Structure 1
Amino acid sequence: KAALTMESSDKDDGRYLCSLQVFLGDVRVWSSGHYTKMYASNKCIIELAKDGDLRLKSSNKHVGWRSGTSGQGVERLEIQSTGNLVLLDAMNLIKWQSFNFPTDVMLSGQRLDVATQLTSFPKDSNLFYSFEVLRDKIALFLNLNKLKYSYWEYKPGGKNKTVNFVRLGPKGLDLFDDNSQRIGRIEQTLIRFLAVGNKTGNLGLYSYKPEKGKFEATFQAVSNTCDLPVACKPYGICTFSKSCSCIKVVSNGDCNSKNSDEEGFSMKRLCDHVMVELEGVDTVLRNGTQVRNVSKEGCEELCKKDCECRAASYSVSDEGCCIMYGVVMGVKEIKRVSGLSYMVKIPKGVRLRGEKSNVRKWVVGLVGGIDAFVVLLLLSGFGFY
């Protein structure tokens, strides 16, 4: 079903968010306002103009969204059984379709070509998640300003397999090459849609559970809570017990506070700082700036001299690989591995508690039982009503 909706604005200014939306049951699977918000004071008007352009307007005739189909002979609006919202001409040819403008959900029968993506925006945050179709893989990314790090990927098996597009079908998510031959599949049956969660950034394949009266994820790309980039807040460490510990480098020493979010997501340059190594931890983030054939000390110096670097991981076994990051996120406790190091940048003169010991003493215990509960809730609550 499709609906014209008006929702209260978070800005509390008396205006409403106006959008055209598509629903599968009670789940919103497409919205005209996913990227650009339209605000209206008292009326939200949908109009299929004589020139074939579908428009959303406010009472003062301001056009907040349009299909861009003027002059293409559009005669009617229709929603297909797949959930695809289409504009058709007199010959029933599709002139515009919502499937070509994906949001955070992919419906059964929908196709995503290379270089297209799904995006999911957490509320009150300047980061967002994306599911992207690349030539060699499909992947999930954490995006923050100009920074972009992957945290999950799936590559088709075999050598020289090149992805051209993906399609969600009755047996799961299929990957196809340039000849439209299937080269990979994430297999799940009776799938109705795929979605990127705006709280966790996890990717789920959803089917309907009649006995529960709701859609549930039968597959999740990231099955371990600590492998999610926001299992804990910035400068937090997801421990073996799935709880969050805190690296005391934020100004108030509490990575569970609002200030820690601001500092963790801040893009201010860190120049006059030093590096401290945390043993027994690593980050789930990938695609940082890589430099090979360097020593651990060389990696440390590279990050110190780069004012935009906040952390670095180093591996002796991987050709002396140094990977630098602009955020301290996705950090988790791991079994100690010789030759693997994770270093964070801290202000000069700051001393971490138990600095000469391992991560359990460098980190301030549990942030709290509530925080641990929230981490688990984010994963277990991955369902749509």
Structure 2
Amino acid sequence: MMDLSLIFLLSLHLSLASAALFPEFIYPNFTATHLKFIDSSGAFLVSPNGTFKAAMFNPGAQQLRFYFCVVHAASNAVTWSANRDAPVSKSGSMMLTGNGLAVADEHGSIKWSTPDFRSPVSALQLTETGNLVVLDQFNTSMWESFSSPTDTIVMGQRLSMGTTLSSSVSADDLLTGGYKFVLTASDAVLHWRNLTYWKMSMDVSVYVNSFATIGFLEMNQSGVYLFDHNGSSVVVRLNLPETGFRLARIDQSGQFSILSYSGATRKQDFVMPVEKCRVPVVCGTNGLCSRGASADSTVCTCPTGFRATPNNPNFCVPSDSAYSLPVSCSQSERSESLNSSNSNYLQLGHGVDYFANEFVAPQNYGVDVSQCRNLCSQDCSCLGFFFENSSGSCYRLEDAVGSVMMRASSSRVGFIKVVVHSATSGFGSSDDEEGLPLVAVVLLPTSGLLVLFVIGILLCRKYKQNDVEFVNSLKNYSKSMSFDDLEFSIPGLPLRFDYEEIERATKNFKTTIGTGGFGTVYKGMLKDKSLVAVKRITNLGVRGKSDFCTEIGVIGSIHHLNLVKLRGYCAQRRQWLLVYEYMNRGSLDKTLFGNGPPLEWEERVEIALGAARGLAYLHSGCEHKIIHCDVKPENILLHDQNQAKLSDFGLAKLLSREDSSLFTTMRGTRGYLAPEWLTSSTVSDKTDVYSYGMVLLEIVSGRKNCMTRARSHSLDEDSSSQGTAPCEFVYFPLYALEMHEQGRYSELVDPRLVGRVTSQDVEKLVRVALCCVQEEPGLRPSMTSVVGMLEGKTPLGAVAIEALNFLRFYGRRFVESSVAAESGGLSDVMVFPGANVSHGSNVSMSTAAFSFISSQNISGPR
């Protein structure tokens, strides 16, 4: 009986101890080890509702490394760790004393501790948000884990500007890795060795609302938001599906992921960069990363002239044993240069680029490849370089080299420095002739003074009101001033240039690079040697001054990778000038329809995707929706690597009253006008979608949608070179529809690419284009959906043939009007099925039909 009573009391004591095992608070002179709480997986502290637990935890159930962690209970995901760089054994302990928190190893040596406090510690609390808080006797916080993040943040946690998240080495080894997520004053960026390899604002689903200085980042159930310092306005936002619990992490792979959890089920809501080849060392040192079957898969090899080491497949060394890789000098040794005769360079293959080149300015401008090589040879920290022929730009790889990546559109040539063990090699020797093509030796020196690479200057906007108030204030301000009062500088506006500075930059407006309905565009070079395009506005009406101020405010507040950036303005001496970044490869129409080398298919897809992302941002990423109204190849400009950027968005208000009266129902260009322009229907963002679809068909075919050709020649030959040969008039969108109905997609691709692109690839773009040009605006996809289809994230939309029958009418009218325009002489006509055009018939020009719009651009060439 006595034994039973003893057993009962012992059981009661154990049950009470178990009930008290997971308190919300613990108090000084508390010690916890993994062994002590082994039945509860090391947990000794929980949040009020049990969402989080604090424990001496071993990620991955390995038995070597134990950490004092905060863990999301349902998923076992570590959200914070104290001693990540000093793990302890299972006998290691966490101690809470009146002086603070500490982690000690099995011998009692302190591996981590909180800072010294002015007041004694009263308690340690784990909140329901996962924040570990050290409290004093007045329940005032003296230290919080949220203020010292490791690689993860959770909902409700604030990440301040300048704060860094650092990746772990692996999922079960929390040692600080090489990748960092950094919140800067203008963006959230990913770094490796202080080199940027991705920016949050680059993602098409991320919207930049203003250029105010960023103060902090917060995440909740609906998305991620970058606020200004006061928290009064959102600078950058990322909308996400509603969820119960979400965390964001820079993981060991170098990607920044946002994950949501439903119990133990994990879902990835967002990841950047999607393309893993952009991650710096995804394929190790000097490894070559190529895209796999999908955007998130990679293939790692060694570049030409390199081989993998036997003991480390992620480390590529020269194949020739006469060469070895140099070791970068330390900071103290940088004044001592390497003997250039002891170094040589192995050229990387065609289309190879480096992740950092997209984010850094060249170290040298206006040099040739030999000068770039010599500069690298004289610097022991330089381990290689990339050279851009078109601009004479030299990008040096310093201190460490990560992976290189295949980019078919790259215009840069890469060289890796090697140490020569024999005296037979030198730059330009027979061994190196393969490394530097003869055409480069001949052409590169002639481009030494060209500076075509523009680095956008991020403007810190401190204006605290929203965009509507800002624009309205500009309107009211401008109405109350005389013209010359516009020599002003208001916080929030882009940079204001003096007229004399613009004159010097353009050499008194010497070089014209374009003309249009708004005026003339000139090429210029600013003091910092960056090239700009200066647009002189000439057709301003009565409200021109107010509209000019409005447009500066609107366009200046828009920032996206695929939109041409407004760098500044000038309003002096009765001159109205807008200064844009210079796009050194010109407009898409010149590259697409010109006589130069054809764009490769991969380049066309990247251009199409870039233009789609730019439009998606205008339609849904800005504070107020912007309809471009004139999407066409002339308004898609190309920069290095054929990066596509939309130009002339938001400028329609700059038309004079006299001119704008002509465009009450139409703005745009023949061949790209949506049907609703012609019926006085409501114009919406779906109008741009139609125009984009027409451009996409031209990107596929490499020719104008409305064109003539000699009857005896193939579809790709323009009639301009055929003399007086009889002409056929081709309306390509209708031809594309018919080939789609027959499944003959290879008939539609640019003939210059035959054999270099699959029918499936062509089908994808053609189907997207046909979805975009459906007659009913409501049936057209949004530009966000178009981006998803091009990226492969969204299934291709169904093409409704009945919604495209209007193309047969358009095709017939195009043929009729083209025949009638042949100076009274009728040519042979290419009649599409359903066109019902009688050969040799007289055609009336009085019908108010699409094809009778003047062949000149309604808004003027830009």
1:322 maps to 394
Q: For 1:258 and 1:37, locate their aligned partners in 2 and report how far apart those are by CA, in whole Å.
A: 26
Distance (Å, rounded) in 2 between the aligned partners of 1:293 and 1:187: 43
Matched, 1:344 2:416: yes
- Once the two structures are superposed, the pairs formed by residues 119-134 of structure 1 within 5 Å of their partners are 119-122=166-169, 128-134=178-184
Which residue of the other structure, out of 95, 104, 121, is the alignment partner of 1:47?
Answer: 95
What amino acid maps onto 2:290 in structure 1?
A: T
Secondary structure at the counterpart of residue 382 of structure 2: coil
CA RMSD of aligned residues (A): 3.4
* 1:159-203, Cα deviation, whole Å (9 max, x unpaired): 6432121112222221111232211112223261001111x1100
Q: 1:64 to 1:292 in 2, by over 3 A?
A: same
Aligned to 2:86: 37
CA 1:108–1:260: 2 relative to 1, 3 Å: closer
**Pairing 1:245–2:301 present:** yes
Which protein has the bigger helix share? 2
Once residues 417 and 198 of structure 2 are traced to their aligned partners in structure 1, the CA distance between those partners, rounded to angstroms, is 25
CA distance in 2, matches of 1:245, 1:292: 32
Distance in 2, Cα, partners of 1:254 & 1:170: 45
* Counterpart Cα distance in 1 of 2:108 and 2:176: 31
Q: Against the structure 1 CA distance between its residues 201 and 266, is the aligned structure 2 distance closer, same or farther, given a 3 Å change threshold?
A: farther
Rounded Cα–Cα distance in structure 2 between residues aligned with 1:150 and 1:90: 45
In structure 2, do the counterparts of structure 1 residues 16 and 245 end up closer, same or farther at CA, with 3 Å as the change threshold? closer
Aligned to 1:182: 234
Gaps spanning 5+ residues in structure 1: where?
Answer: 358-385
Q: Does 1:295 align with 2:368?
A: yes
| Matching residue's letter, 1:245 | T
Query: Aligned partners of 1:352 and 1:206: how far apart in 2?
Result: 49
8 Å CA contact 1:52–1:75 kept in 2: the answer is no
* One-letter identity of the residue aligned with 2:163: T
1:353 and 1:28 map into 2 onto residues whose CA distance is 53
Question: Hey, what does 1:274 align to over in structure 2?
Answer: 344
Q: Deviations over 1:98-152 (max 9, x none)?
A: 0011101111111111221001132599961111111122111112xxxx31110
CA shift, 1:7, in A, is 8.2
C-alpha distance in 2 between matches for 1:245 and 1:262: 9
Q: Aligned letter for 1:208?
A: Y
- 1:94-243 equivalent positions in 2, closer than 5 A: 94-122=141-169, 128-143=178-193, 148-155=194-201, 157=208, 160-180=211-231, 181-189=233-241, 190=243, 192-198=246-252, 200-210=253-263, 213-241=264-292, 242-243=298-299
Counterpart secondary structure, 1:174: strand
Give the 5 Å matches for 1:294-313. 294-313=367-386
Determine which structure has more spread, i.e. the larger CA radius of gyration.
2
> How much has 1:356 moved relative to structure 2?
7.8
3-state SS, counterpart of residue 216 of structure 1:
strand
Residues 31/158 of structure 1: CA separation in 2 closer, same or farther (3 Å cut): closer
CA distance in 2, matches of 1:107, 1:265: 42
Who is 1:254 aligned against? 308
Amino acid at match of 2:101: L
Partners of 1:274 and 1:346 within 8 A in 2: yes
For 2:309 and 2:196, the matched residues in 1 are separated by 23
Asked if structure 1 preserves the Cα contact closer than 8 Å seen for 2:165 and 2:250, the reply is yes
Shift in alpha-carbon separation, 1:254–1:340, aligned structure 2, 3 A:
same
**Take 2:141 and 2:177, find their aligned partners in 1: how far apart are those partners?**
35
- Quick one: structure 1 residues 256 and 281, their matched pair in 2 at CA, closer, same or farther if it must change by over 3 Å? farther
How far apart are 1:222 and its partner, in Å?
0.8
Q: Of 381, 405, 420, which residue of structure 2 is paired with 1:332? A: 405
**Alignment match, 1:372:** none
The count of aligned residue pairs is 339
Among 60, 63, 71, the residue aligned to 1:23:
71
Query: Identity over the aligned pairs, expressed in percent?
Result: 23
SS in 1 for 2:208: coil
| Letter paired with 2:353 | D
Q: Secondary structure at the match of 1:247?
A: coil
Do 2:135 and 2:143's aligned partners in 1 also have CA atoms closer than 8 Å?
yes
Structure 1 SS opposite 2:191 = strand
Correspondence for 1:367: none
Q: CA deviation digits over 1:276-311, x for unaligned, max 9?
A: 333211011244762222223322222222222122
Question: Could you tell me which amino acid in structure 2 is paired with residue 195 of structure 1?
Answer: R
Under a length normalisation based on structure 2, what TM-score does the superposition of the two structures give? 0.36
Look up the match of 1:375.
none
Output the TM-score relative to the length of structure 1. Answer: 0.76
The one-letter amino acid of 2:143's match is W
Question: Which is worse superposed, 74-83 or 253-262?
Answer: 253-262
TM-superposed CA distance for 1:316, in Å, is 3.9
CA deviation after TM superposition for structure 1 residue 314, in Å: 2.3
Change in Cα spacing, 1:43 to 1:238, as seen in structure 2 (3 Å) is closer
Q: 1:165 to 1:268 in 2, by over 3 A?
A: same
Report SS of the residue matched to 1:344: strand
Rate the CA distance shift 1:240–1:261 in 2: closer, same or farther, 3 A: closer
Within 2, Cα distance between the matches of 1:55 and 1:161? 40
Give the superposition deviation at 1:52.
4.1
Contact persistence 1:18–1:38 (CA under 8 A): yes
Deviation at 1:92, TM superposition (A): 2.4
Which amino acid counterpart does residue 284 of structure 1 have in structure 2?
Answer: F
Report the CA distance shift for 1:331/1:84 in structure 2 as closer, same or farther (over 3 A): same
Instruction: From the superposition, tell whether residues 75 and 231 of structure 1 become closer, same or farther in structure 2 (CA, over 3 Å).
Output: same
User: C-alpha separation between the residues in 2 aligned to 1:275 and 1:131?
Assistant: 33
User: Which of the two has greater strand per residue?
Assistant: 1
Higher relative contact order (CA 8 A, sep 6+): 1
Q: Which amino acid aligns with 1:137?
A: D
Cα distance between partner residues in 1 of 2:314 and 2:270: 32
Distance across 2 between alignment mates of 1:355 and 1:313: 13
Unaligned runs of 5+ in 2: 1-52, 202-206, 293-297, 318-323, 330-337, 438-862
- In 1, the alpha carbon distance for the partners of 2:191 and 2:123 equals 37
Q: Specify the code of the residue in structure 2 equivalent to 1:188.
A: L
Q: Report deviation, 1:33.
A: 1.1
Q: Which amino acid aligns with 2:257?
A: G
**Cα contact 2:158–2:216 (8 A) shared by 1:** yes
Indicate how the Cα distance of structure 1 residues 57 and 236 shifts in structure 2: closer, same or farther if over 3 A, else same: closer
Partners of 2:103 and 2:150 in 1: CA distance: 18
2:651 maps to what in 1? Answer: none
Contact 1:248–1:254 (Cα < 8 Å) also in 2: no
Using the alignment, how far apart are the partners of 1:52 and 1:244 within structure 2? 51
1:23 maps to a residue whose letter is V
Contact 2:162–2:183 (8 Å) recurs in 1: yes
Q: Pick closer, same or farther for the CA change 1:288–1:259 going to 2, 3 Å.
A: farther
Q: Is the 8 A contact 1:313 1:340 kept in 2?
A: yes
Q: What SS does the corresponding residue of 1:46 show, helix, strand or coil?
A: strand
Contact kept, 8 Å, 2:209 with 2:237, in 1: the verdict is no
Deviates more, 1:222-231 or 1:115-124: 115-124
Please tell me whether the aligned partners of residues 210 and 235 of structure 2 are also in contact (alpha carbons under 8 angstroms): no
